[in-house]
Structure 1
Amino acid sequence: MNAQELLLTRQSTPRLTAPAPDERQLKIILDAAARVPDHGGLTPWEFIIARDEGLERLAAIYVEAAQAQGADEDLLRKARGMPFRAPMVITVVAKTQVHPKVPVIEQEIAAGCATMAMQQAAFALGLGGVWRTGDFAFDPLVKQRLGLTPADQIVGFLYLGTPAVKAPIKATKDGSVFARYL
């Protein structure tokens, strides 16, 4: 798959199964993230990888956060199962800092670019992925249990694995309808 095809056929792969990326594939995925635009070379990101027992720990964090929110049994069951939608979940965190030339928003966007680069690298390797956020990305208890500071922002949870089914290619969008010239 060439770069143009990769970019123009990108889509989420919500039904994922084992195997997860192996160590070689994971290194490529993480290295792709580290190559994104990064004004000032601040590397304003952290990648928290959950697989195997890590998925169990992430599930426990979600359940604890859901309980703290007063969730009923159905929501607790849903929270418990969320990390197991894929054999690997990478929590992408924007770890921003005050900088005289690099606003926080640029640092958060860089972390978002890292997430997109990881997903694209996974696709290029024949894997699937879906970038999710949801309430837990903004939950203070989840952040605390992941060892994050209040200033850190979870950009998303990148679910990675092997596509369970071949997803149909979505219709192409004409990007020019969103553009205008000055």
Structure 2
Amino acid sequence: MLPEPDGTVLQILVYARTNDEEVAGKEDVSKVVMKIMEKRLNVGHSLYMDNFYNLYDLANTLLESNTYCTGTLRSNRIKHPIDVLSAKLKKGELNIQYCNNVAIMKWKDKSDVLFLTTEHFCKLQETCNRRGNVKEKLYPLTKYNENMGGIDLRDQMLYYYSSDPKTVRFISTYTIEFVLV
């Protein structure tokens, strides 16, 4: 799904790990992202992705197409720099590695946060939380949280109207969700 930060859905591609030739294969997650972004490449857009879709190789491919990406990473994916992933950090410490204009970082807050960006400068900045407490947070992480709000809002709205998966078949469920979107 490709939403705007305000929750407006621009495009949907159902990915169910099937035998669809356009998006199936060894790096099918990257193919899904490239398929859904194909009309929006080479314009300078910023893409914010969660850890399921975000990969180092995909970030390079998008950067070659003048499209920036930012998002969380999974530690068990191959081709991520081992130095960053294996570093033991204390709370508030930051470890960054740059490779081909892609920044991969690990930051220790309450737990380890793995992050990738091709757009934002990797620095810590002071932010206020809801209670008014000031704490340091990664700048790319604050931008990620600002822009991922649209997908969270859409998910929250669909939750109120979602169908019961135990009684409705897969296709019917997605048809209902498409109508609601």
Q: TM-score range by the shorter chain?
A: under 0.3
Name the TM-score, length of structure 1 as normaliser: 0.26
> Quick check: which one's helix share is greater?
1
Name the TM-score, length of structure 2 as normaliser: 0.26
